Structure formats: structure tokens, C-alpha cells
Amino acid sequence: DPNKLIPVHLAHEDTEMLQARIEASVPIPPNQCVFDMHLSTDAEQNAEYMARKFGFFVPYVEHVADLTGLLTYLGEKVGVGYACVCCDRGFSSVSAVQSHMIAKSHCKMTPEDDLWMEEFAEWYDFGEEDGEEWEEVVGNEAEEYLQKLGADGTMMVLNGNHEDDEGIDVEGEEAVELVLANGKHVGHRSLKKYYDQSSKPGRSPQEAARLQRIMAQYKSLGWYSGGEQISHETQRKMREIRKRKDLKLGVKTYYTRKAN
């Protein structure tokens, strides 16, 4: 719905003029750079191009759940809203806002954490707090746990020698993991590492592989993820915002939310 793409700096324009402008605008697709219109084969290559050419690095890229959706939004922000991806300033054309972003070194997302979280939370997935979805049990405790809760679930059993999460061999001990109906995992500590490696809610294996390739490209350009550790408080806020957005019917862009 084009009416959902009303930039806040256009909210007071004549309705007919505004409608005409929206209809004349063309969103920039996720495989096209919002800074110079360079066309790549897909969203992944576009993300790599923008990092290499303009130093545009997606913050916390390892936590992105929908890269294509994120780049689609940025394309709407610039292509329809004529707005800077960093400061939100509106312009009269795509070329004008692109010139501004390059001249002002605004080829980046807003550095203000609260504004960034509110604008981009729906394309990220930070999962639950560490430990909220996993509980360690020993021996027969797993089956007892399941019976106690009276819940349905599935069980994975690992017999024989295996390593615990610290790389220590556990000989002759049976490792059991239960996946309860509510999604909670309970099991032997030796299985925790497998859960940690596979547990990325809301992200497909293909998306995870794509993000790994982008991270490798970022690192080759000097980006260091270790310096970008997100705080527990920020993760908590992002989850709250994401849950709030998930409850809404339909999807609105940032500009519609700001204008309401």
C-alpha cells in the first residue's frame, strides 16, 4: 500500500500533490545500492558492495533475521521517502538525498541506539536471554522432568563416549535432550553446545549461511565484530520492540509510525 510510505517531512503537503509524488516514486530494490544505484545480483552482493564502496556495515549483522527485508526497507526510505538513512532528513529527490548521504558521511544507520532499535528491530532476532531456553539435567532427570510437567516433547539420546561443553570426555554416560512442546530444551550439558550452534530462531539455514559470508566480507574490509558486542539491555529492548511489532496487524514503515 503506497499510502503507508508517507515520510514525516511530507505529512503537511497537499493530499493530491502527496499522492502524485508517492505514485511517481520507485522503491529501490534490495539488490540495488541506496547510495549510488549500483545493481548487484542479489541482496547479499549488494550488502557486500555497500560495505566495500561506502563503508556501510549492517550493525550486529550476525543477528539479522531478514536481510532482504531490511534492505527493502532502506530502499523504500530512500527511493520513496527521499530520506537519509542516518539522520532522516528529507529531500526533494533520490539524487539529492544520495548526494547528502555521501557528502555528510551518512552512509550508515543512525548511531542513536533507541532510534535504531525502534526503526530496525523487526528485521533482527536476538532470541531469548542466555539460558532461558535451555536447562541442564543429569541422568534420569530428563524423563522425570518431562513427566513432572506432563508435557509432550521429543527426545534425543546420545550413547557411549562424547564430550561435554568444555571438551571433556564423558565415558559410558547417556546424554539425553528433551524438546518440550513449549520449545524449551532440557538435557545433559554435553548437548548444550549443539543447541547453541543450531538455535537461531526465525532464521533459515540459507539466511545463516548468507550472513556468515557477509561477515567474512566485512572482516576482510577491517570490520571487527568483537568491538560491536551488544549489551544485554539492548538485546532485551530489541526483543520487547520485536514482540510489540509482531502483535500489530500488517506492516508499517518507520515513516508511517512517526507521522501517527
Output b/e per residue, 60-97; b: 16+ Cβ within 10 A: bbbbbbbbbebbbbbbbbbbbbbbbbbebebbeebeeb
Asked whether residue 28 falls in the same domain as residue 111, the answer is: yes
* Domain-embedded: residue 214: no
Q: Looking at residues 98-109, what average pLDDT do you find?
A: 97
Distance CA 124, CA 202 (A): 9
Do 116 and 170 belong to one domain?
Answer: no
Per-residue 3-state assignment (H helix, E strand, C coil) for 160-179 = CCEECCCCCEECCCCEEEEE
Burial of 111 (C-beta count, 10 Å sphere; 0-12/13-18/19+): exposed
Question: Is 221 contained in some domain?
Answer: no
One-letter amino acid of 15:
T
Sign of the CA dihedral running 211, 217, 223, 224: positive
pLDDT top residue among 117 and 133: 117
51 and 168 part of one domain: no
Q: Is 24 exposed, middle or buried (0-12, 13-18, 19+ CB in 10 A)?
A: exposed
In this prediction, residue 238 carries a pLDDT of 63
How many structural domains comprise the chain?
Answer: 2
Model pTM score: 0.61
Q: What is the pLDDT of residue 208?
A: 79
